[in-house]
Amino acid sequence: MTLQSSWMQFFNENETRREFMELLQPIRESIYNEIYIYLWIICFYSIMLFILILANLFLLLHILHYGKHIYNISNTID
C-alpha cells in the first residue's frame, strides 16, 4: 500500500474527516475574521465601479444623442 492510498483511506472515514475539520475550525475562523473587512471593501468597490461605468455609459449616450442634433442643426444653417 502506498503512502497516498493510505492517506486517502485515512481521510475517507467520516469520523476522521469530522475531527480534522473540527481541528481546523479555529484557524478557519481566524482567517475569516482577518479578511472580513477586505471582503466588504471589495464588494463596495465593485458596486461603485459598476455605478461609475453605468454613469459613463449614460453620459456617452447623452453626448452622442445631442451631438447628432447639433451636427444636423449646423448642416441646415449652412
Dump pLDDT digits (tens) for 17-40. 788 888 889 998 999 999 999 999
* pTM given for the model: 0.55
Average pLDDT value over all residues in the chain? 85
% helix, strand, coil for the chain, step of 5: 95, 0, 5
Q: Which three cell numbers stand for residue 38?
A: 477586505
d(Cα 57, Cα 49) in Å, to the nearest integer?
12
**Predicted local distance difference test score (pLDDT) of residue 71:** 62
Band of pLDDT at residue 76, cut at 50, 70 and 90? low
Q: Given the C-alpha cell 463596495, which residue does it identify?
A: 44
